[in-house]
Amino acid sequence: MIRLFAVIERDLKKFQRNPVVLAMSLLMPLIYLVILGNSFQGKLTDLPVAVVDQDAGPHAKRVMENLRAIEAGPKTFSLMPMKDMQEAIAGVKEGRYKAAVVIPVDFSKKVTLQARPEVGLFLDNPDSISSEMIRNLLNAALLSIRSGYVPIRERADEVHLRDINLFPKVDYYQSLVPGVVIMAIFLGVLTTGAFNLVMDRFLGIDESYLLTPLSKSHIVSGLMISGLLITTAIAAVILVVSMLITGIPLSRGVVQIVPLFIVVVLTTLCLLGLMFVILGRAAHPRIVGVLSGFLNVILFFPSGAVYPIASFPGWLKTFAKINPEAYAVHALKSLLFKNASMASISGDILFLAFFTVVTMTLSILTFKRTL
Amino acid sequence: MEKAKAIAVSEITKTFGSLTAVDHVSFDVGQGEFFGFLGPNGAGKTTLIRILTTLLKPTSGNAIVSGCDVLKEPADVRKQIGVVPQAMTSDLDLTGYENMDLYGRFYGIHAGDRKERIRYLLDMVGLSQRANDLVATYSGGMRRRLEIARVLVHRPRLLFLDEPTIGLDPQSKHVVWDFLGRLIEGDSMTIFLTTHYMEEAEILCGRVAIIDSGKIIAIGSPTELKANIPGNDIVSLVVANLAVERIAAIERLSFVHKVIAEENSLRVYVDNGAKNLTLLIDDVRASGGTVLSATVHEQSLEDVFIHYTGKSIREEEAKKVSFLIGAGIPQKFGR
């Protein structure tokens, strides 16, 4: 035990002497929350759309009113009324507008005559997300002008949808919290555990402890435990701070902290183990750099933190089944937003524990005790 | 009665791909000996030390270190030895004391013993004043002294030092030599040292093995090794206009044992160099040559090396790819 503690203490001391890394590990996930929250916003707003009304007839006015209603209400787009159609199209081509809507000269006449009236829509189609959104909204706006008047009273035979939220309402920022916590864990794991092994090897310092009676498991588990301590501490701070920022309540009180903590610890161990298996024999920090960017993308995006796993294609769903971050996100979401009990996340816990045992065993087995 | 063996090496060979770093090497080191491995960089010294200290597995052959088999009982070997690798291996982010303390704990030494021992050793290497400073602030010489002190924390009976003075200035070098000299006097410790400095081997070692291209070419005490060289002095001459066939004639002179010619310089192994120098110069002149400079010196291990390999250690060094090994840079070769 004296040996294991020495390995742990060495690593913790070295981390402590490098406060910049600690500050960055704490700050960066929170910046993620702010940047991700604002760049990925759940709904689209303020898309610039040029409108050219060449008709100016009564029906064209109706279309314009509907468009303005959208501009004022959901604020999906902001309208730029223009005179010249060519200029509007050029604006889309140059990227100043996301779309140009052209109401042709004979529009109102054709509506009255029911002679297939058309409205032109020029789209910045490579930006598929905003194009799709504008097309759908415009279709809706055009549909409603077909009926000559707006019904004042609701019709009795109309079917209504009444949606009932099973869980307390979760806003977009709050929904990002599990992902941000996973990011924090990932960052912590990157700068501890196997990374220190690679650095020691790169600096040639590993020789000094490989020459001592330390066993494989002393070295591997010592580095893992210090990595676990540091990473869990960082993740816990991030979890608490981001819950406070976004206003997620502890619905079950302090008791809820226990399962949250268990998920954080197990996720950390999984990722530490994974890094150890992959980096166990690496000798250059550049490998860690390349790998970390890659791993972050392939583990984080298919984790369900930003997009529902159910919408993934089959092969990606299969990958999500072995992705520890997917289980971690599911467990955190259940605990934070669905008031879940330990029992309902036992599947996640089991997988994370299993993954930990497998990677830890592999790490110790594949660790080379010689140079 | 034969002394107990601290190290017994039999037929060790290590190859890296097509390169044979250590080639069928066998030798013994007795208990309490100060044994030196002398050879140019790239001769296989570090590879051999890594095999003896369990960091590398030999391609063939075996060694018994401190009574334990390096292949079958590497953990037992590690418990009994102390190793100062060639590269600086102390942790820059930790203080000198912390470096030593952690090392002591790696060996399972308990707090009380540790504290006392570390204070004693730091004092011995003159680092007591700087014990609580980060190693990052130490000079190369201080780091080296710390690393030698660190390896003594667990009182090893056998100490391996791989080029302990490489990259140190002459003053720091002498401090380390002084310290190593005192070590062997005090305890009944065995020391195995590799070096490419002749002077270091001559000052410190009781017995020396000369290694070149992975093979041991001579082994014995510095005095014995020097006794093997013909003559007792060496005359170095720089000449001009000397016909090559005249060299054989010089070799036939009664007081000359051997001549090694390299371009316009001659190394002449002679008896009583001071007396015979003028005769030698006369002979060169008589053959139509001009003597540009002449020096006489007593034989050293350098001459032993030249005698056995026909080239000087410095030339050997120049030929090696120097980026592989440099002072203070971790030696990645062989990983």
The CA–CA distances, whole Å, from A116 to A14, A148, A371, B196 equal: 75, 16, 79, 96
The DSSP output letter for B311 is: S
Quote the pLDDT of residue B333: 40
The residue ranking higher by pLDDT, A334 or B263, is: A334
CA atoms lying within 13 Å on the CB side of residue B232 = 6
Question: Would strands B190-195 and B158-162 be described as parallel, antiparallel, or unpaired?
Answer: parallel
Q: Is 70 exceeded by the pLDDT of residue B330?
A: no
Percent of chain B with pLDDT over 90: 51
Smallest CA–CA distance, residue B45 to chain A, in Å, is: 16
Quote the pLDDT of residue B286: 86
Question: Would strands B60-65 and B34-38 be described as parallel, antiparallel, or unpaired?
Answer: unpaired
Chain A to chain B Cβ contacts (< 8 Å)? 79
Per-residue model confidence as pLDDT tens digits over B103-127: 999 999 999 899 999 999 999 888 9
- Interface with B, mutate which of A21, A208, A215 (most B CBs under 10 A): A208
- What predicted TM-score, i.e. pTM, was given to this entire model? 0.80
Q: Is 50 exceeded by the pLDDT of residue B322?
A: no
Please tell me which of the candidates B50, B78, B107 has its beta carbon nearest to residue A371.
B50
Other CB atoms within 10 A of residue B73 CB: 16
Please tell me which of the candidates B74, B78, B102 has its beta carbon nearest to residue A9.
B102
| pLDDT average, residue stretch B51-55 | 95
Whether B93 and A2 lie within 8 Å, measured CB to CB: no
pLDDT confidence of B324, banded at 50, 70, 90?
A: very low
**Cα A326 to Cα A309: distance, rounded to the nearest angstrom:** 9
CB-based contacts of B325: which residues, under 8 Å, 6+ apart? B41, B42, B331, B333
Phi, psi of B20 (to 5 degrees): -100, 105
All residues of chain B having their beta carbon less than 8 Å from the beta carbon of residue A13 are 93-94, 98
All residues of chain A having their beta carbon less than 8 Å from the beta carbon of residue B79 are 213
| pLDDT average, residue stretch B32-53 | 92
Whether A210 and B55 lie within 8 Å, measured CB to CB: yes
Closest by CA position to A263, among listed A138, A352, A366: A352
Percent of chain B with pLDDT over 70: 92
Whether B94 and A371 lie within 8 Å, measured CB to CB: no
pLDDT confidence of B326, banded at 50, 70, 90?
A: very low
Residue B288 three-state SS: coil
| pLDDT average, residue stretch B201-223 | 92
Smallest CA–CA distance, residue B4 to chain A, in Å, is: 24
| pLDDT average, residue stretch B154-162 | 93
- Interface with B, mutate which of A202, A211, A218, A226 (most B CBs under 10 A): A211
Q: How far apart are the first and last CA of chain B?
A: 41
Two structure tokens written together for A241:
């701070």
Quote the pLDDT of residue B258: 86
* Residue ranges of chain A with per-residue pLDDT less than 50: 149-151
Mean pLDDT for chain B overall: 87
List the single residue in B with minimal CA-CA distance to A5: B105
Helix residue spans in chain B (DSSP H): 45-52, 74-80, 96-106, 111-124, 140-150, 170-186, 198-204, 222-227, 244-251, 273-286, 301-309, 313-319
Q: Is 80 exceeded by the pLDDT of residue B149?
A: yes
Whether B94 and A14 lie within 8 Å, measured CB to CB: yes
**Cα B190 to Cα B8: distance, rounded to the nearest angstrom:** 13
Please tell me which of the candidates A6, A7, A370 has its beta carbon nearest to residue B56.
A370
Quote the pLDDT of residue B316: 62
Say if residues B10 and B26 touch (Cβ distance below 8 Å).
yes
All residues of chain B having their beta carbon less than 8 Å from the beta carbon of residue A3 are 105-106, 108
- Share of chain A residues as helix, strand and coil, in percent rounded to the nearest 5: 65, 5, 30
Tell me which H or E stretch contains B211: strand B207-212
Say if residues B44 and B194 touch (Cβ distance below 8 Å).
no
Please tell me which of the candidates A204, A209, A211 has its beta carbon nearest to residue B53.
A211
Helix residue spans in A192-323 (DSSP H): 194-203, 206-210, 216-246, 257-279, 285-300, 314-322
Whether B50 and A210 lie within 8 Å, measured CB to CB: no
Whether B105 and A5 lie within 8 Å, measured CB to CB: yes
**Residue A129 CA, distance from chain mean position:** 17
All residues of chain B having their beta carbon less than 8 Å from the beta carbon of residue A203 are 330
Whether B102 and A205 lie within 8 Å, measured CB to CB: no
**Cα A331 to Cα A352: distance, rounded to the nearest angstrom:** 10
Quote the pLDDT of residue A40: 63
Whether A371 and B55 lie within 8 Å, measured CB to CB: yes
The residue ranking higher by pLDDT, B256 or A143, is: B256
Which amino acid type is present at position B317? E
Q: For this complex, say whether ipTM is above 0.85.
A: no
Q: Concatenated DSSP letters for A74-117?
A: T--EEEEEES-HHHHHHHHHTTS-SEEEEE-TTHHHHHHHTS--
Phi, psi of B237 (to 5 degrees): -120, 140
Tell me which H or E stretch contains A360: helix A346-366
Quote the pLDDT of residue B231: 79
**Cα B2 to Cα B30: distance, rounded to the nearest angstrom:** 9
| pLDDT average, residue stretch B73-87 | 93
Window 117-156 of A, Cβ < 8 Å to B = none
Smallest CA–CA distance, residue A238 to chain B, in Å, is: 27
Smallest CA–CA distance, residue A192 to chain B, in Å, is: 15
